[in-house]
Structure 1
Amino acid sequence: MLRIRHEVNGGPEVLFAEEADVPAAGTGELLIRVEAVGVTLPTVRKVREGSEPVPFGGEVAGAVVAGPGVTGFTAGERVTGLCFADAYAEYAVLNTAMTSRIPAGAGAVEAVALVRSGLVARGAYEAGRVDPGESVLVTAAASAVGTLALQYAKAGGAGRVVAAVSRADKADFVRGLGADEVVLYGDADWGGPYDVILDGVGGDLLGPAVRALATGGRLVAFSSGGGTVQAYELLLRGASLIGFQMRAVATGKPELYERWLRELWQLRAAGTLRTAVHEAIPLSEAARAHAVIEQRRNLGKVVLVP
């Protein structure tokens, strides 16, 4: 099978394709024939910053081939889930605890754009405890998670939903997904104060985000970007910083995870949530997909298609 690998201490230009054996599924795992792979910022960062080669983990969707000792899934069923090793390949292994069926009528590309990003957006929104009428700022608003977080905020009755993006040419795109206003990261004034900020960027943006909070505001950090917050800035506003990680819900609260998953597809079927796919790029051109994200050009989800 075709698999994408990379060299150490390099960027997207050092990704390369190789032939590899089809992996074997272990107990509690599924082997699937991959139809779509989601490209994420954390994976791109690992390639750029890693000190040793790392396997490409990520969201995948495709058809079940085999699953020794697994009940509840059958060969030929189309599923989506997380692969923690070698997701950039024609076949991948999924843990059944984080795998779900794709409903009839939905495609693999749409599933990759909707499920994981939608669950993270829902979880971050819930963690922010947004009350009807409150103001919400979403950073990385043109990302896969950001586009769905904007829609959750609008559907949940937020009084004012503002998108924060890296480039002015993304403004019309995020407005089309429900943003009432748009601000740029480099703006001196982010248009606050905000009751809730959903932050998918981290790093140097945490400081401006905290300073844009209203008294009693909540900042939900769900990115892999790290960053430091000064306690004084929180004390000054009586504000809260809340960390959210989807894996903690999937493994620690499986009933809640399943409920959110069902609701996600229901909202998609009702038209409340729309997926945004920047481009479906051939697997062999993974370097180009990484470059799109590194250059912050993506409008929605970047997907690889074997």
Structure 2
Amino acid sequence: MPAHTMRAIRIHEHGGPEVLRDEEVPVPEPGPGEVLVRVHAVGVNPPDWYLRDGMSNLPPETRPAFDLPVIPGTDLSGVVEAVAADVDSLSVGDEVFGLLRFPGFGGNAYAEYVAAPASDLARKPAGIGHVHAAGAPMAGLTAWQFLIERGHDHPSPFQAAPHRPVPLDASTTVLVNGAAGGVGHFALQLAKWKGARVVAVASGAHESFLRALGADEFVDYTRSRPEEVVRDVDVVLDTVGGPHSSRLLRTLKRGGSQFPVFFGEFDDEETARLGVTVTGTQVRSNGAQLAELGRLLDAGTVRVAIDSTFALTDARAAHERAARGHIQGKIVLTAV
């Protein structure tokens, strides 16, 4: 059994990376339906810095409630140390990875131990290490739930209509905006797995990386505007969002769909005139889907690119790296 205390990163006040504090706190005890995981690696994701700065970039009505101090983090890979009496799907010693309690902020993954819902976990693919496994859950499940299968009936806080992925095959063209990032590089690979043609949009420094992942066409947004050089796309997966995301609607053929991962600004009259739809969802924890993704990771069909790694105690530096942007793949914290 673990010691009674552990290292964890906690936030006591909102602000920049400097508010991330390395502290000694009690080891959590797994409740019903949970297991205690000894954390080996933690994936760093945008919601981590949204939480850190008070979610100032989200509309007030979409901000989940939470109390300070809080341990950030949702993505982990590690080893099961203890199991609640009602859990029979996992055993002590199992290597697991997962996206915990999302879209809430109770993941508490920036720590040496985490009490995790067993239903949010899947067995770690044997063919990859903990660092790569920790980089997969949120980004991989986001791409999966947008492109392959939503897997839940929860409404999105950003739209009334339910999101419906478009069937992908060899007759489909998918444009991925922000293709080099966490969600983007998974989306590219999943679309290729389904046989689609993929147009990757990123800065020129990422071209060789994205072509190696299977991109059929590359657009360097620092040299060309994708809406001026790409036409007749079936699906746009936009991981960037923001006030200018509607410009990508012009790359779509009539009947096409744009999927904003982060909310953008769209005009209903414009989408009607173009004959296209805009639809999205909010990624949610799903151990069963993660197990499916894990099989692709184990087979090498999909891989996790690692931008950089930092020790758990150096989480501040990891957030500073994220703030500089132009990330290729995932940033990961190592706890062991």
What residue in structure 2 maps to residue 33 of structure 1?
38
- Compute the displacement of 1:47 (Å): 1.6
Alignment of 1:42-121 (within 5 A): 42-50=47-55, 53=68, 54-69=70-85, 70-83=87-100, 84-121=106-143
Provide, for residues 38-73 of structure 1, a one-character-per-residue CA deviation record: whole Å limited to 9, x for no partner: 000122222234477453131111111112222221
Secondary structure of the corresponding residue to residue 246 of structure 1: coil
What residue in structure 1 maps to residue 187 of structure 2?
149
Distance 2:250 2:132 in 1: 36
Query: Aligned letter for 1:271?
Result: G
What residue in structure 2 maps to residue 267 of structure 1?
296
Distance 2:265 2:210 in 1: 28
- Compute the displacement of 1:204 (Å): 2.2
Q: Is 1:130 aligned with 2:168? A: yes
Change (3 A) 1:50 1:269: closer
Distance 1:123 1:16 in 2: 33
Q: Considering fraction of residues, name the structure with more helix.
A: 1
Percent identity between matched residues is 38
Query: Aligned letter for 2:90?
Result: F
Distance 1:303 1:96 in 2: 22
Provide, for residues 175-196 of structure 1, a one-character-per-residue CA deviation record: whole Å limited to 9, x for no partner: 2212223334564343322210
Q: Which moved more, 1:214-223 or 1:262-271?
A: 262-271
Distance 1:59 1:246 in 2: 13
- TM-score by length of structure 2 reads 0.80
Distance 1:114 1:82 in 2: 9
Change (3 A) 1:7 1:115: closer
What residue in structure 2 maps to residue 170 of structure 1?
206
Query: Aligned letter for 1:46?
Result: L
C-alpha contact (below 8 Å) 1:82/1:95 kept by paired residues: no
State which of 203, 220, 240 in structure 1 corresponds to 2:242. Answer: 203
- Compute the displacement of 1:9 (Å): 3.4
Distance 1:36 1:61 in 2: 5
Secondary structure of the corresponding residue to residue 169 of structure 1: helix
State which of 171, 178, 189 in structure 2 corresponds to 1:140. Answer: 178
The alignment's C-alpha RMSD in Å is 2.2
> How many residues are aligned here?
294
- Compute the displacement of 1:299 (Å): 0.8
- Structure 1: gaps (5+ residues): 251-256
C-alpha contact (below 8 Å) 1:44/1:294 kept by paired residues: no
Change (3 A) 1:241 1:138: same
- Structure 2: gaps (5+ residues): 1-5, 57-66, 101-105, 149-164
- TM-score by length of structure 1 reads 0.87
What residue in structure 1 maps to residue 271 of structure 2?
234
State which of 6, 12, 17 in structure 2 corresponds to 1:12. Answer: 17
Q: Is 1:283 aligned with 2:288? A: no
Distance 1:204 1:183 in 2: 20
What residue in structure 2 maps to residue 253 of structure 1?
none
Secondary structure of the corresponding residue to residue 20 of structure 1: strand
What residue in structure 2 maps to residue 247 of structure 1?
284
C-alpha contact (below 8 Å) 2:226/2:248 kept by paired residues: no
Secondary structure of the corresponding residue to residue 230 of structure 2: coil
Query: Aligned letter for 1:145?
Result: V
* Greater than 6 Å deviation, 4+ residue runs: none
Query: Aligned letter for 2:120?
Result: M
Q: Which moved more, 1:208-217 or 1:37-46?
A: 208-217
